[in-house]
Amino acid sequence: MRLASTVSLAAAMLLVASAGQADPAAGEKLFTGKNCNGCHYTQGPAQEKTIDDQLAKKGPELWYAGSKFQKAWLKGWLADPKPIRPLKYNSLTEKNPGNHPKLSAADAGAVTDYLMTLTTPEVKKGAAGKGKKLKGKLVFMKKMPCKGCHQYPKRKKVLGGLSGPSLVGASKRLNPDWIYAYMMKPKVFKPVKMMPVFTGILNEVDVKNVTTFIGKFK
Ligand code: HEC
Ligand code: HEC
């Protein structure tokens, strides 16, 4: 009896594993095992308080990764990382060397399951709502200097500035509710100023509109 139930439990577990069920604990182990935590911290809230704290960081904070990224993108990127920031992290002159550590597809899946558990209540589901894309375009292209710092797609071309992360592919990479939360409350995510703060300059509707515009970038 006991043997039979152990066997069926093992079989059930195997089934769960082969069905590709999330296994965040295994992903967390890999995250430390592969020394990802040597460059990324995962414990919120934001730890950096001064510009020196920011400059000491070797990679972006990941404590809200599950709120920021889209799962399918994350899994694909970890297995085949391509530069997001045109410039090297924390540099205004050097090019991104494009040498981010790469994971096998299986490890990328497990680490993604782990990173997707790192969420924050600051990002509220549905908060970005449905903005007006054309009004958002006006904000991004004309009223505000967004395109001076961010690459964006235009037909088959990539235009825009280099000092911020590229927004090309944002429709697949970023969660619009995170973009909205970040624009409304940048200090929660980036307490040390790296991007001009638009709180008080752009109202809620402007932010929803520009989020909708960015959220369609291919
Ligand atoms: C030597 C430092 C270093 C190590 C080790 C490292 N990363 Fe990174 N990571 C970076 C840098 C720098 C970036 C920014 C890359 C870019 O913008 O193209 C980054 C970006 C990321 C991003 C996207 C974050 C964002 O906000 O754009 C994720 C997710 C990520 N790393 C996960 C991992 C995982 C998982 C591992 C372990 C397998 C790992 N990293 C190992 C330095 C590192
Ligand atoms: C002076 C340059 C500058 C301007 C202007 C600027 N940004 Fe940024 N932006 C940045 C930098 C730098 C970051 C990265 C901050 C960090 O990770 O510390 C960033 C980050 C972002 C992100 C998150 C991207 C990611 O992958 O993490 C979004 C979305 C964004 N900006 C949208 C905008 C919008 C919309 C505007 C215009 C209203 C704008 N930005 C104007 C420099 C700029």
Dump pLDDT digits (tens) for 132-186: 999 999 999 999 999 999 999 999 999 999 999 999 999 999 999 999 999 999 9
Task: Give nearest CA residue, ligand 2 atom 14.
Answer: 164
Question: Chain-centre distance of CA 218, in angstroms?
Answer: 16
Task: Measure 181 CA to ligand 1 centroid, in angstroms.
Answer: 22
| End-to-end Cα spacing for the chain | 57
- Output the ligand 2 site: residues, CB below 6 A: 60, 140, 144-146, 148-150, 163-165, 179, 182, 190, 194-196, 198, 210, 214
pLDDT tens track for 9-38: 555 555 555 455 778 999 999 999 999 999
Token pair of 95, please?
A: 């090019």
**Cβ-contact 51, 57 below 8 angstroms:** no
Q: What does the alpha-carbon distance between residue 14 and residue 32 come to, in Å, rounded to a whole number?
A: 25
- Residue 196 buriedness (CB in 10 A; 0-12 / 13-18 / 19+): exposed
